[in-house]
Amino acid sequence: MHKHLFLLLFLFSVPHGKFAYAQDYPARPIRFVVPFPASGGGDIIIRALSQKLSERLGQPVVVDNRSGAGGNVGTEIVARAPADGYTLIMANVSPMAINTSIYKKMPYNPLTDFTPISLVASFPNVLVVHPSLPARSVAELVALARAQRGQLTYASAGAGSTTQLSAEFFKSQAKINMVHVPYKGGGQALIDVIAGHVTLYFSSVPGAMMHVRSQKLRGLAVTSLTRSSAAPAIPTFHESGYPGFEAATWIGAAAPAGLARPIVSRLNTEIVDIMRAPDMRERLITQGAEPQTNTPEQFAAYIKSEIAKWAKIVRDTGIAAQ
């Protein structure tokens, strides 16, 4: 009897397994993988979040850009990483929801290979062109595309990105033809539109606005149903004769599947607090993004609903599988 009681007391007094990790967490730097090149809309937001997260956790939070295959490369790295809280992924709408309909074979399962932590933000895209293009509205761009049949080109941040799907949706709605020029991320796509190498690009609003304000690019329309607070002078597609036209990019935080619940709760609490803080909210809204947070369970349900939503859009636009 005494021996059994002693054993029970010993077991309860020694932290072990995942709970020991959770008590000490974090004891070393955290890697936050962004599955796209630097300078894109999501990358800008994750860098701001990582800085605040580092201050709160008392450890460096290092952003690691791992691009390729529409975000699949970096996302797979995290799916295969240990579930210890030291590797996080910027869960993005493309690799977590759209790509299941775009790629014939996926290197991970968005629903089973990750531990969702929280949504972080969402933002619309904005159709931008080089200022020299003789089109100051969507209607003028459509007229130009019809006059120069098949000659206009559009950049994308990669196959399956909302930047490509926005353009394909626009093509089908406007009944025009444009040539797709895919890039490995939004930063390079913007550079080539600014240089005049590509006609247009459906950029994320946070990625494009500094170039629109400096008049290196002209914004023709945003893909949200209401005007962006960061660009109130730019009309929506809805206003431009395309009712119901909407396409948003969302980003969140996730970890490999099986992360200990205390660590999930800690990260969720910190991220939600950071994104709801007035200074962060103002910073994002100025860039054209909307802070959005939720519980791990709500984020898991949201990813599931987004997979179904984008599957229909991919079918409707007829984008070929990669």
Going from N- to C-terminal start, the domains of the chain cover: 28-123+249-317, 124-222
Pairing of strands 114-129, 218-222: antiparallel
CATH code for 28-123+249-317? Answer: 3.40.190.150
Report the pLDDT value the prediction gives residue 275, as an integer from 0 to 100. Answer: 97
What lies within 8 Å, CB to CB, of 141 at 6+ separation is 127, 129, 133, 135, 200, 220
pLDDT at 145 over 80: yes
Average pLDDT over residues 182-194: 91
The full 3-state SS of 197-232, as one line of letters, equals CCCEEEEEHHHHHHHHHCCCCEEEEECCCCCCCCCC
Cβ neighbours around 91 below 10 Å, total: 28
CATH code for 124-222? Answer: 3.40.190.10
Choice among 7-16, 122-131, 307-316 with the minimum mean pLDDT: 7-16
What is the token pair recorded at 162?
A: 């909302």
Identify the CA nearest to 74 among candidates 31, 38, 46, 33: 33
What is the token pair recorded at 37?
A: 């090149």
Cβ neighbours around 314 below 10 Å, total: 20
Average pLDDT over residues 112-135: 96
Cβ neighbours around 191 below 10 Å, total: 15
pLDDT at 144 over 70: yes
Tell me 40's DSSP state: S
CA atoms within 13 A on the CB side of 24: 12
- Whether 73 and 295 have beta carbons less than 8 Å apart is answered as no
Cβ neighbours around 41 below 10 Å, total: 29
Which residues on adjacent β-strands are paired with residue 127?
Answer: 202, 221
Report the pLDDT value the prediction gives residue 10, as an integer from 0 to 100. Answer: 46
What is the token pair recorded at 77?
A: 């790295």
Overall pTM > 0.75: yes
What is the Cα–Cα distance from 173 to 165, expressed in whole angstroms? 12
In this prediction, what percent of the chain has a pLDDT beyond 70? 92
Report the pLDDT value the prediction gives residue 178, as an integer from 0 to 100. Answer: 95
Average pLDDT, the chain: 91
What is the Cα–Cα distance from 152 to 196, expressed in whole angstroms? 12
Report the pLDDT value the prediction gives residue 262, as an integer from 0 to 100. Answer: 98
- Whether 306 and 116 have beta carbons less than 8 Å apart is answered as no
Q: How confident is the model at residue 40 (pLDDT cuts 50, 70, 90)?
A: confident
Average pLDDT over residues 169-187: 91
Residue 116 parent element (H or E): strand 114-129
pLDDT at 52 over 90: yes
Q: What's the pLDDT tens digit per position in 225-270? A: 899 988 899 999 999 999 988 888 999 999 999 999 999 999 999 9
What is the Cα–Cα distance from 199 to 74, expressed in whole angstroms? 29
Q: What's the pLDDT tens digit per position in 55-64? A: 999 999 999 9
**Alpha-carbon torsion (277, 278, 281, 284), positive or negative:** negative
What is the token pair recorded at 192?
A: 């080539």
